[in-house]
Every structure is written in C-alpha cells, then in structure tokens.
Amino acid sequence: MKSPESNIEEKRQAAEAAAALVEDGMTVGLGSGSTAELFVRALGQRMVAGLRVQGVASSSRTARVAAEVGLPLIELDRRLDLAVDGADAIERGTLNAIKGLGGALTREKLVALAADRFVLIGDRSKLVERLCDRQAELPVPVEVLQFGWKITARRLEALGRPVLRMQANEPFITDNGNVILDLYAAPLDRPNDLATTLHALPGVIDHGLFLQMAQCAFIATERLTVAR
Ligand code: 5RP
C-alpha cells in the first residue's frame, strides 16, 4: 500500500530534522511506521551523545525499536513535550493528514493529542496540495471493533467503499485487538464532515484523519508550519 516513490533518504532527513527539536529531559511521543522508526533511531544517536529523553510508543513495533536503541518508555499518563510521526498524506497548506496505513492510527492519535507540539515527518511522496489529490489510491483507515464489524462496514457504505484490511490471508488485527476497514471515500473534499460522521458511528474506534493537529512538518529538508 506504500507509495512506490517512497524515499528512504528523504525520510531520514526529515527524521533527523525532527530529532534536532528534542531538548534534554523531554518526554516525546513516538509515532509508527518506517519514518517514525528513523526518528527513534536518530534520537538513539543523540542519546549516545548524552541527550536524556523518555518516550511514549504508539505501537508495539515502535516500542521494540525504542528498546533496541535504549530509549526508556513510559505509559501515556501525562502531557508530552512533543510528538513526532510519519503520515500517508500531508496537505501542504493545512498540515491535515491521513494516517494509518501501518494500522496504528488510534494510539498515534492519542499520543499526538497528548503533546504540546505535533510534528509530521515524511518524504516528498507524502506531500499533497489537497488531501483528496491522493484519494484514488489512498483510503481513510478506520479502526473498528471486531464484534459486529460487518454491520459497521454496512454503515460505512453510506460514506464510501469499506475494505477489510488483510494480512497473510487473515484480517489484520491492530495492537488494540481490532480490525481495520480501509474506506475509499473519494472525493475527500469535506474531511471535517467525514471525521465527525465517523466518530459518531457505533463500532468505530477511531479513523486516520488527523485534522488541525500538526503545527509543523518536515518533508525531506523542507520545513512547513501552520499557526495553531
Ligand atoms: C502508521 C502510520 C504511518 O505513520 C504511515 O503509514 C507512514 O508510514 P511510513 O513512514 O512507513 O511511510 O500512519 O499507522
């Protein structure tokens, strides 16, 4: 599902730029996915040079990478100084984003919302003029309770085409024990309305629209900001 133009060097540049924002003693939200993992590794490098930091991991995979680089983790029980995460699409003017192709969207959103500053990182393939520009290929991931998921899927049909995410011929199960319905809801010209509708649906845990959340994004070496 990842974009074919995805560029590891640009992801690394963005991850290192975000890691430079971290100050000694900070508590940092750690996103999920390949770019977020590069951020965790960049923090690990800075820790070797003496930086003291603790983190909150948004997925079991990120927790494993943090353990590998010796970054101490705490549970999400307080405000965080900063959260940094990748995205699947980032809208240039607003920094609204679609996330969740890695399946960690619910914890990622909790972590991002707990942070005083939320920073997105990505390679150039993630940057779009409007979120709906990538809609043909990019669904809005929706995390859904397993119990009654087919009924929830039927409700989602009023909003687009929901597809149960699969992995190795089995439904993909999130760290929270839920399934993901990838909602093809083009054209995504009113993301706020879709977000509100999705939140109101029984069985929906959360969705991958991250709207009005990020203040800053690093796209390779380019820095984008919006006032919040
Ligand atoms: C996981 C996510 C990821 O941040 C998103 O899929 C980007 O991944 P990558 O950095 O590997 O391109 O939302 O739920």
* Range(s) of the chain covered by CATH 3.40.50.1360: 4-130+211-223
132-207, what's its fold?
Alpha-Beta Plaits (3.30.70)
* Range(s) of the chain covered by CATH 3.30.70.260: 132-207
**Rounded Cα–Cα distance for residues 71 and 48 (Å):** 10
The whole-number pLDDT of residue 4 equals: 47
The whole-number pLDDT of residue 132 equals: 78
* Phi and psi torsions of 29, nearest 5°: -80, 130
* Phi and psi torsions of 67, nearest 5°: -60, -40
Q: Which of 8, 32, 165 to mutate to test the pocket of ligand 1 (most atoms within 8 A of CB)?
A: 32
Q: What separation in Å is there between the alpha carbon of 165 and the centre of ligand 1?
A: 15
**9: buried, middle or exposed (CB in 10 Å: 19+, 13-18, 0-12)?**
exposed
4-130+211-223, what's its fold?
Rossmann fold (3.40.50)
3-state helix, strand, coil in the chain (%, to 5): 30, 25, 40
* Phi and psi torsions of 144, nearest 5°: -135, 140
Whole-model pTM: value is: 0.96
Ligand 1 in contact with 103 (CB < 6 A)?
yes
**Rounded Cα–Cα distance for residues 132 and 5 (Å):** 18
The whole-number pLDDT of residue 187 equals: 81
The tens place of each residue's pLDDT in the chain, 228 residues long, gives: 455 467 999 999 999 999 999 999 999 999 999 999 999 999 999 999 999 999 999 999 999 999 999 999 999 999 999 999 999 999 999 999 999 999 999 999 999 999 999 999 999 999 999 987 766 679 999 999 999 999 999 999 999 999 999 999 999 999 999 999 999 987 888 999 999 999 999 999 999 999 999 999 999 999 999 998
Ligand 1 atom closest to Cα of residue 126: 12
Name the residues annotated as catalytic.
108
